[in-house]
A and B are shown apart, each in its own frame.
Chain A
């Protein structure tokens, strides 16, 4: 079955530690996205990538970093600079063809819940 796999489901971070969240998709989608979900605030965009080796900041990129070395993978690193990392992190993907991403829906993985120790 095609889909988006996020791992791990639960992750704990110590003070001063960087942690990396994995996102893999086998939908052959070009575009991938990372969102953060906090209670009562909906989803907020952290980073997105339209093609391999290219990515752009979203609305709340500070304290996060990403890479896009392969089409299938878009890992997110939560750095020690992110002072409030406790949240539910969601990865999404969508097709992208000649700038037509605006008419393609995004599909989501099942998230990683990050907490501070």
Chain B
């Protein structure tokens, strides 16, 4: 079993839809949770960065972390064709993993069609 599981999709939605992307994980030591967006042939771009449980909102994006369920989500409101990309969840612990090693999900391919 992988430490981080992410549905690879692909996910196809119409413009304006609300998109929900999710990851589950098994390592209870994870404390920091990230979502990256990756366009084709480009490097991942940091979208959201959260610590422990709770919600964080930035424009059309909302990140949720539920540590009790070991489940994180990214919501995209009013999705646009420019949101079409691969979305990667990533997470890391603290203390013992002090070099900041990230563990990534497989990535979800999202297409928003006009």
Which residues of A are in contact with B by a Cβ distance under 8 Å?
4, 6, 9, 31, 40-45, 48, 50, 56, 58, 90, 94, 96, 99, 101-111, 113
Known: A9-B41, A48-B99. 20 other contacts (CB 8 A): A31-B99, A40-B106, A41-B106, A42-B104, A43-B102, A44-B104, A45-B102, A48-B101, A50-B99, A90-B44, A101-B98, A101-B99, A102-B31, A102-B99, A103-B32, A103-B94, A105-B46, A108-B44, A111-B41, A111-B43
Shortest distance in angstroms between B101's beta carbon and chain A's nearest beta carbon?
A: 6
Interfacial residues, chain B to chain A (CB-CB below 8 A): 4, 6, 8, 31-32, 34, 36, 41-46, 49, 51, 88, 90, 92-95, 97-102, 104-107
- The interface centre, meaning the residue of A4, A31, A45 with most chain B CB atoms within 10 A of its CB, is A45
Q: In the assembled complex, which residues on chain A have CB atoms less than 8 Å from the CB atom of B32?
A: 102-103
A85 to B100 Cα, complex, angstroms: 25
Q: How far is A107 from B106 in the complex, measured between Cα atoms in Å?
A: 18
What number of residue pairs across chains A and B have CB atoms under 8 A from each other? 70
List chain B residues, Cβ under 8 A from A56: 99
Instruction: Give the docked Cα–Cα distance between A96 and B4 (Å).
Output: 25
Residues of A within 8 A of B43 (CB): 4, 6, 90, 108-111
How far, in angstroms, from A40 to B2 measured CA to CA in the complex?
13
- The closest CB in chain A to the CB of B6 belongs to A42
Q: Which residues of A contact B44 (CB under 8 A)?
A: 43, 90, 108
Q: Given A102-B93, A102-B94, does the pair A42, B100 have CB atoms closer than 8 Å? A: no
Q: Which has the most chain A C-beta neighbours within 10 Å: B4, B97, B99, B100?
A: B100
A106-B88 contact given A90-B44, A111-B41, CB 8 Å threshold: no
Closest to A100 in B: B98
